[in-house]
Chain A
Amino acid sequence: MAEIMTLIGGRSSKQGTTLCASKLGAAYAEISSTLEMNVEDMARLGLSNNSKVRLRTPAGEAILRCKGRETKDLPPGILFMTYGPLSSQLMAGDTAGSGMPISKNLDVEVEPVRDENGP
């Protein structure tokens, strides 16, 4: 069952240091496929750290692995991920006459991805 949440894209220092080395390496791929999520939301959706979730917007979809954050750090309903190839998949190309695509605070459908073997 999908829920609508707000996805914030951003930068992290770990991403910054990693991209200096290579954007094609495994470290960068891992960082840019990690989704920070409120722990209560995760519990409700039956997710635990490293569970796969599918994010979907009208532009596209991406599958990430989630990582829990306490409510004081990340309020319920808010998601965070670093910019990268996966966040690109979710962004619409319309810039509304500004040149800037919306890349923060996207409404995304969040859906746990069940492994074939079941949870």
Chain B
Amino acid sequence: MLVRGVLIEDTFAEAFTMRVARLVITGGTPRWAREAGLKLTGFATSVIGCKCEAGIERELSETETPDGRPGVSVLFLTMDKESLPQQLISRIGQTVLTCPTTACFDGLPDGPDRLPVGKALRVFGDGFQGSKVIGGKRYWRVPVMEGEFLVEETFGMQKGVGGGNFLILARDADAALAAAEAAVDAMANHPGVVLPFPGGVVRSGSKVGSKRYKKMVATTNDAFCPTLRALTESQLPEGVNSVLEIVLDGTDAPAIAAAMRLGIDAACRPGVQAITAGNYGGKLGPHHFHLRRIMGGESQAA
């Protein structure tokens, strides 16, 4: 299958079930909501090294937030139920509680599991905190030097999907980057999806484990490294000199599939030879995103 001359390989991206929470962070201005969102989702690219993955889902206008202020929506994912509240508590405590003007609301009110995040953060108030129930939800008011930090008592948690991906195989690094940027731009603000890596793009795709170092959980995906074409069992077609990967996490598989379609389509541009995806043979992750099906074609891949 070709899209504007770019080969869509007949393979699939293999993704995992993760736990996801959505936070709505508001601020006095869009700037401060964004600052908090950026800090909160910083160093949250991969569960391998960060224990969680997160990204800004999209920016929210005044009409979309509980307090009528500009904000950002953030998705936050971990592999298991237990670590999500821990990560949220420590990260919100350090990055939102600390950030001027912001407040932090739950974005998954229907989430079946309730994480006592605000309930844990309240103790920063040293006994001076107070709570409010508004419209059936409890909020904590934590006194801070600026005024008050408002955080919802519990945050919804539901099953999400982590590790949706596609790889852009390009003629050169410039073309790969241009295609990746175009893909990221196309997926920006897509509901239910975040791209946890820097600017949404990862250059250091990895494989599971190591050929040489026992303790390494993941090491460089040598099969796609152009410089190793001669040293390893390379999977790079001829003419490909640079590969960039886009990783997608989201609230559900359809959202990821829809975003992938937009991203892949945007990435199909001159200088790009093929789009492929990473998988583990289909045995590890329950979610399989077949590139050709996503792009509206037929797929034979397992």
* A–B proximity contact (CB within 8 A): no
